[in-house]
Structure 1
Amino acid sequence: MNDLDHRPGVKEINLVRRNLKLEGVTEDNREAIILEIDTLVGVESVSFDASTATINMAYDATHCDLDGIEALLQAHGADTSQGLWTKIKEGYYKFVDQNIKDNDEHDPHCCNAMPKALPGSRKK
């Protein structure tokens, strides 16, 4: 796949897939949550599996992050599960998202110039 196969604002190299168990999702707020997350810039896809109470998302980590998505969930009365495994995954996801964002902002440079003569050394 290339970047043209994705939604605007999503680059293949920065695309991540996240699956988190949620609490507090009801039939009343489920559609609003999915719709609001789906309209965020950088979100490729989002779905909710009611049988496992799991949200499945794919997004560009340079444009979106879990903190923003969690704030959106809390605004609708839902939140990520308080279970240990969910908290471990959430911490790992945030770490990886931050690394992707930092690497995207890093401007690489090459230092292939000849070294300057050290003070006190003689030129021949």
Structure 2
Amino acid sequence: MSDLDHRVGVREANLVIRNLRLSNVNEANSDSLIEEIDRLFGIDEVSYNIQQGVIHLAYDATHIDLERIEATIRKHGAALHNDWWTQTKEGYYQFVDQNIKDNATHKPWSCHQSPQRSHRKRK
């Protein structure tokens, strides 16, 4: 896939896919919740499986992070499920998102740069 296969602002190199369980989601608030998350800049794809209570997210981690998505979820009266596995995944996802964001702005350096070539002919 290339960057052209995604929404505007989403780069393939920074794309992450997340699956998290939610609680307090019903048919009344699930549609508005998904629509608002889908409108956020950096979101490539979002869906919600109401039978399993799992939200599927694909987003560019340099433009949006899990905390902003969680704020939108809480705004609609829902929350991340309060079990140890969901909390463990959330912590790991936040770590990876921050790492991607930091690496995107980092300028590489090296003390082992190759010297500039002289324009002499080799014998």
Q: Contact 2:26–2:50 (CA<8 Å) still a contact in 1?
A: no
Q: CA deviation at 1:27?
A: 1.0
TM-score of the aligned structures, taking structure 1 as reference length: 0.88
Q: CA deviation at 1:113?
A: 7.2
Instruction: Give the equivalent residue in structure 2 for 1:122.
Output: none
Q: CA deviation at 1:109?
A: 2.6
Q: CA deviation at 1:102?
A: 0.2
Query: Which secondary structure state, in structure 1, belongs to the residue aligned with residue 59 of structure 2?
Result: strand
How far, CA to CA, are the matches of 1:113 and 1:45 in structure 2? 43
Q: Percent identity?
A: 54
Instruction: Give CA-to-partner distance per residue, 1:57-112, whole Å, 9 cap, x none.
Output: 10000011110011111111000000000000000000000000000010113432
How far, CA to CA, are the matches of 1:85 and 1:39 in structure 2? 28
How far, CA to CA, are the matches of 1:113 and 1:6 in structure 2? 37
Aligned pairs for 1:59-98 (under 5 A) are 59-98=59-98
Counterpart code for 1:70: E
Instruction: Give the equivalent residue in structure 1 for 2:47.
Output: 47
Instruction: Give the equivalent residue in structure 2 for 1:105.
Output: 105
Instruction: Give the equivalent residue in structure 1 for 2:58.
Output: 58
Q: CA RMSD in A?
A: 1.2
TM-score of the aligned structures, taking structure 2 as reference length: 0.89
Instruction: Give the equivalent residue in structure 2 for 1:118.
Output: none
Instruction: Give the equivalent residue in structure 2 for 1:18.
Output: 18
Gaps of 5+ in 2: 116-123
Q: Contact 2:7–2:44 (CA<8 Å) still a contact in 1?
A: yes
How far, CA to CA, are the matches of 1:93 and 1:59 in structure 2? 12
How far, CA to CA, are the matches of 2:25 and 2:108 in structure 1? 43
Instruction: Give CA-to-partner distance per residue, 1:14-57, whole Å, 9 cap, x none.
Output: 00000000001111110111000001111000000011100001
